[in-house]
A and B are shown apart, each in its own frame.
Chain A
Amino acid sequence: MIPFDFVYYKPDTLQEAVDAYRDAYARGLKPLYYGGGTEIISMGRVNSIRTGAVIDTKDIPECGALSVGNDMIVIGAGVTLSRIHESGCFQLLGHAVGRIADHTTQCKITLGGNICGTIHYRESVLPLLIADSTVILYGPEGFREVPIRDVFDRRIKLNHGEMIAQVLVDKIYASLPYVHVKKAPIEKIGYPLVTVCALKQNGRISAAFSGICPFPFRSREMEEALNDNSLTDVKKAAAALKCLPAQPLADESAGGDYRKFILHNTLMQTLETLGAVS
């Protein structure tokens, strides 16, 4: 059981959601937008988070949208990971979200919830970062459309009362050669020691990472190293490792040096795979 009470709002529109947030905040309820709710429930159960109000966004039509248009793939923040995986709309994203938690839990976790989560890994962000995605936000000032790189730096950075409504991905990214590798301590289920997502566009590799540091990230410096064709693949991987944006994560699953070892090998695998395609 969750050892505290909260108010549950289920708005039908984005404006109702923002209004509910404003009202709950004014009542001192410290509201949270609620997607799949898996993190809020599991952390609430052990008192790691506490809220007086949740605003469930899953019934908002914009949040439930999933479509492939002529140019853009539109994914609502309330779309579950399993729905993304099953749709095949963007295979790299499908593979990445298909390795988060387990299949049944993927039927509950939403894209917006994973992006906005507090755990280190948030692997759905990786394909979105390297696909130069656009995020549609809705807040007290209305809509805001921004590149994900402008609002995701180690974590999502939203204005007060703002929520993610949708993510847009240029369809061209769905047809590019890619690599997705997740290395977990045991078998397939579990938090990653290292996850690498990479795309190759016009001969250039873009890459984003989870597990190696205590946050998901895309690093331009690491990409420069990976694309430095004056270096061998071994030296590219070694140079990329020197550009990590923070100390490697060290916890009960693995030490920092071991994670770097795994990342080095995974980068070699990535370079080999993407080196074989034009």
Chain B
Amino acid sequence: MTVYEGKNVITLDVNGSKRDVTVRPSDILLDVLRRELNLTGPKPGCENGDCGACTVLIDGWPVKSCLMLAVEAVGHAVTTVEGLKDTPIQKAFVDNWAFQCGYCTSGFLMVCHALANIHPNPEEYVIEDWLQANICRCTSYAEIRDAVRQALEAY
């Protein structure tokens, strides 16, 4: 059994690299990624699991990092938007102007990347179901949908 009490050094597997970081058990993964590891791709939006701006991948599945303890991530592969360099979904978002202010974009990219890997040929309702986890206040939804369709062809 693993027990963490008080401050502990844990090792996180982030974007393919092992990173040692000192955390308390109650530290939220989002805060640790941003403040301790300087990975500012995951954005603090609602910090209540509603907006999806902080989405990261845990073993390939999208998870809102504001709803996960950092210690829970030990032993799992964490991917942030910094780990998506040169992936088709990024090009698709640029090609389709699938953002305006860009604050929500990293969360959308993470969900779309996971969707393309887990369901390479999704039905339309599956795309809708997955993307409903993210909110874009600039309302780029139509462009985001176009970007997903383009990216799915490239994966």
Binding site for B on A (CB under 8 A): 1-2, 4-12, 16, 20, 36-38, 41-42, 44-45, 54, 56, 58, 82, 98, 101-105, 107-108, 187-189
Q: What residues of B have a CB within 8 angstroms of the CB of A44 in the complex?
A: 26
Partner of A8, one of B62, B69, B111: B69
Given contacts A1-B28, A10-B1, contact A42 B132 (CB under 8 A): no
B30 to A: closest C-beta gap in Å: 10
A101 x B49 contact (CB < 8 A): yes
Q: What residues of B have a CB within 8 angstroms of the CB of A101 in the complex?
A: 49
Partner of B67, one of A6, A11, A42: A42
Complex-state Cα separation, A11 to B31, whole angstroms: 25
15 A-B contact pairs sorted by A residue (CB < 8 Å): A2-B27, A5-B25, A8-B4, A9-B3, A20-B1, A41-B28, A42-B49, A58-B72, A102-B133, A104-B64, A104-B134, A105-B64, A105-B133, A108-B64, A189-B132
B69 x A104 contact (CB < 8 A): no
Complex-state Cα separation, A36 to B63, whole angstroms: 11
Other contacts beyond A10-B1, A37-B68, A37-B69: 4, CB < 8 A: A5-B6, A6-B26, A8-B3, A104-B134
Partner of A1, one of B31, B71, B132: B31
A-B contact count (CB 8 A): 93
Chain A CB within 8 A of B41 CB: no
Chain A CB within 8 A of B22 CB: no
Partner of A104, one of B26, B48, B55: B55
A184 to B: closest C-beta gap in Å: 11
Residue of B nearest to A17 (CB): B1
Complex-state Cα separation, A82 to B25, whole angstroms: 25
| CB interface residues, B 110-136, toward A, < 8 Å | 111, 129-130, 132-134
A38 x B132 contact (CB < 8 A): no
Chain A CB within 8 A of B42 CB: no
Most buried by A among B31, B48, B67: B67
Hey, what's the 0/1 contact readout for B13-41 against A, CB within 8 Å counting as 1? 00000000000111110010000000000
Complex-state Cα separation, A7 to B4, whole angstroms: 6
B63 x A103 contact (CB < 8 A): no
A42 x B133 contact (CB < 8 A): no
| CB interface residues, B 57-95, toward A, < 8 Å | 58, 61-64, 66-69, 71-72
Q: What residues of A have a CB within 8 angstroms of the CB of B5 in the complex?
A: 7-8
Q: What residues of A have a CB within 8 angstroms of the CB of B129 in the complex?
A: 98, 103
Given contacts A1-B27, A37-B72, A104-B52, contact A9 B63 (CB under 8 A): no
Given contacts A42-B48, A103-B130, A104-B63, contact A11 B1 (CB under 8 A): yes
Residue of A nearest to B46 (CB): A42
Q: What residues of B have a CB within 8 angstroms of the CB of A82 in the complex?
A: 61
Given contacts A6-B25, A42-B49, contact A107 B4 (CB under 8 A): no
Partner of A38, one of B26, B61, B67: B67
Residue of B nearest to A7 (CB): B5
B1 x A5 contact (CB < 8 A): no
Residue of A nearest to B62 (CB): A104
Q: What residues of B have a CB within 8 angstroms of the CB of A16 in the complex?
A: 1
A21 to B: closest C-beta gap in Å: 12
Given contacts A7-B3, A104-B63, A105-B49, contact A188 B68 (CB under 8 A): no
B3 to A: closest C-beta gap in Å: 5
Complex-state Cα separation, A37 to B52, whole angstroms: 17
B81 to A: closest C-beta gap in Å: 14
A9 x B1 contact (CB < 8 A): yes
Q: What residues of A have a CB within 8 angstroms of the CB of B146 in the complex?
A: none
Most buried by B among A11, A102, A105, A189: A102
